[in-house]
Amino acid sequence: MKILQLCKKFPYPLKDGEAIAVNSLSKSLHELGCTITLLAMNTTKHYFDTTQLPLDFNHYTAIHTVPLDNRIKPLAAFWNLFSKQSYHIIRFESQVFHRKLIQLLTGEKFDIIQLESPYLAPYIPLIRQYSKGKIVMRAHNVEYEIWQRVAQNSRFWWKKWYLHHLAKKLQHYEIEQLNKYDLLLPITRRDADIFQFLGYENALAVAPVGLNGDHYVVNTASFHQELSLGFIGSLDWMPNQEGLRWFLKEVWMKLHLQFPRLTLHIAGRNAPLWLQQLNLPNIIFHGEVPDAAAFINQHPLLIVPLFSGSGMRVKILEGMALGRVVITTSMGLEGIDARHRREVLLADTVDAFVETIAYCYQNTALLLQISAQARNFVLQQHDNQAIARRLLQSYAQLLPKQEETLRLLEV
């Protein structure tokens, strides 16, 4: 099966959920015999020098990139207020990408054209014109929902109004595109239900994020040391900033007074200046770290205080795969069927976070048990090979003359 994968940013380095999700699935499909060609926008925000790719980044038959300036421009954002177009979407429209896509579609026949997010939906008419391949939309999130939630949590009326305005136009666009896909791949069952409620009627398969458990080596040494908290994530992503700011402002000093030896270690790329200059007791800012897994393994507790966002939080799955005790909110855990005090710990309020940390201090022997259960959960529920095999069955059902593929997958 030949797949053309379209991405709105280059899926490397593996330091954010989208890049990890894209690569995990692509590698597994490659191992199942698919040939995959990548066409990615190489954006100003997430630019990557592709000459620096490691040798084991070899699951693509061919890699093509197109430069894209997707920076937010104040004047363009202002004039967009008077347009029906979604400003989120038009920042990813490119004539250079358009021409490169035509070149690939006319030069080679693809069975599947896989779009990684609705930001690639503007190119659907072009794909229909130049290819008979089936269009698959992998929905990493309900995109407009992220901005609705950020808007609801905003403290400033003007920001709340503007973000609601953007979210409404993005919602209209997502709904307008829904039935243009031959197959929709939501990342969670919850998201699938939302898309069907919004009117989606075509083929659908839930394809959660999968991980290769062999790539996540558990180190339990930190469980035998003084308790410490870790936080890691893309620090230019608004929901991460929002949740971390809340935790630092509302929770940290209460924790520090009750547990004066507790430390919080923060890592991530593209941190805002306020975070780099943070001056709070027992908080260590590491910036971008060379090895995310090594950083996570240094701290037995991983906090993910999220109050907006959508889809599935890959960093939670990675933390669980590494045997960390993840402390997150109900919203952070959306789409992941882990249970409170079995595989994760849940806290939605200031008092709940303080009580949860107290629980960890009072039940240190149970932390290793939660750690083991968390890892087993990921190995059983989020195995990348099993997910890719199910997905390939969905692809085969879309295509004529794929009986042999289906037979092999059933073996």
The pLDDT assigned to 408 comes to 56
pLDDT greater than 70 at residue 405: no
pLDDT greater than 80 at residue 142: yes
* Mean pLDDT for the stretch of residues 247-252: 97
pLDDT digits (tens, 9 = 90+) for 275-329: 999 999 999 999 999 999 999 999 999 999 999 877 889 999 999 999 999 999 9
Closest alpha carbon to 243 in 149, 311, 324, 131: 149
The pLDDT assigned to 403 comes to 55
Q: What is the CATH number of the domain that holds 250?
A: 3.40.50.2000
- Decide: helix, strand or coil at residue 83: coil
* Mean pLDDT for the stretch of residues 211-227: 95
Closest alpha carbon to 244 in 287, 306, 295: 306
Confidence of residue 153 (pLDDT cuts 50, 70, 90): confident
Same domain? 234 vs 176: no
- What's the CA gap between 209 and 318, in Å, rounded? 10
Same domain? 307 vs 284: yes
- Decide: helix, strand or coil at residue 250: helix
Confidence of residue 406 (pLDDT cuts 50, 70, 90): low
What is the DSSP secondary-structure string of 131-162?
A: --SEEEEEESS-HHHHHHHHHHH-SSHHHHHH
User: Across 271-275, 308-312, 349-353, which has the greatest mean pLDDT?
Assistant: 349-353
- Report yes or no: 15 and 291 within 8 Å, Cβ to Cβ: no
Same domain? 225 vs 367: yes
- Decide: helix, strand or coil at residue 16: coil
* Mean pLDDT for the stretch of residues 204-221: 95
Residue corresponding to tokens 């030949």: 2
pLDDT greater than 80 at residue 254: yes
- What's the CA gap between 29 and 25, in Å, rounded? 6
Hey, what amino acid is at 372?
Answer: A
Whole-number mean pLDDT of the chain? Answer: 94
Instruction: Please give the DSSP secondary-structure letter assigned to residue 9.
Output: S
- Decide: helix, strand or coil at residue 264: strand
Rounded to 5 degrees, φ, ψ at 228 are -145, 155
Which domain, by its residues, includes 261?
Answer: 213-381
Q: How far is CA 194 from the centre of its chain?
A: 18
How many separate domains does the chain show?
2
Put simply, whether the predicted model's pTM sits higher than 0.85 gets the answer yes
Of 153-162, 193-202, 290-299, give the lowest mean pLDDT range: 153-162
Q: Which residues contact 306 (CB under 8 A, 6 or more apart)?
A: 239, 240, 243, 313, 328, 329, 331, 332
Instruction: Please give the DSSP secondary-structure letter assigned to residue 248.
Output: I
pLDDT greater than 80 at residue 70: yes
pLDDT greater than 70 at residue 224: yes
pLDDT greater than 60 at residue 407: no
Same domain? 92 vs 141: yes
The pLDDT assigned to 45 comes to 86
pLDDT digits (tens, 9 = 90+) for 33-62: 999 999 999 999 889 999 999 999 999 999
pLDDT digits (tens, 9 = 90+) for 184-196: 999 999 999 999 9
* Mean pLDDT for the stretch of residues 117-144: 96
Same domain? 120 vs 141: yes
Percent of the chain surpassing pLDDT 70: 97
pLDDT greater than 90 at residue 208: yes
Token pair listed for 120? 């690639």
Confidence of residue 409 (pLDDT cuts 50, 70, 90): low
Q: Which residues contact 302 (CB under 8 A, 6 or more apart)?
A: 229, 230, 231, 232, 296, 315, 316, 319, 324, 325, 326, 327
Same domain? 107 vs 246: no
- Decide: helix, strand or coil at residue 37: strand
Q: Which residues contact 305 (CB under 8 A, 6 or more apart)?
A: 243, 244, 246, 247, 251, 328, 329, 332, 353
The pLDDT assigned to 400 comes to 75
What is the DSSP secondary-structure string of 160-224?
A: HHHHHHHHHHHHHHHHHHGGG-SEEEESSHHHHHHHHHTT--SEE------B-GGG----GGGGG
pLDDT greater than 90 at residue 410: no
pLDDT greater than 60 at residue 107: yes
Q: How far is CA 102 from the centre of its chain?
A: 28
Kindly give the interhelix angle for 238-246 and 143-153, rounded to the nearest 10 degrees: 30
- Report yes or no: 114 and 181 within 8 Å, Cβ to Cβ: no
Same domain? 401 vs 305: no
- What's the CA gap between 25 and 211, in Å, rounded? 9
The two beta strands, 35-43 and 228-232, are unpaired
Same domain? 84 vs 192: yes
pLDDT greater than 60 at residue 404: no
Alpha helix positions (H), 188-334? 189-197, 238-246, 252-258, 273-276, 292-297, 314-321
pLDDT greater than 90 at residue 380: yes
Same domain? 194 vs 242: no
Same domain? 60 vs 167: yes
- What's the CA gap between 305 and 319, in Å, rounded? 14
Confidence of residue 154 (pLDDT cuts 50, 70, 90): confident
Same domain? 166 vs 314: no
The pLDDT assigned to 36 comes to 98
* Mean pLDDT for the stretch of residues 365-373: 96
pLDDT greater than 70 at residue 150: yes
Closest alpha carbon to 98 in 153, 156, 39, 44: 39
- Report yes or no: 307 and 153 within 8 Å, Cβ to Cβ: yes
Same domain? 243 vs 316: yes
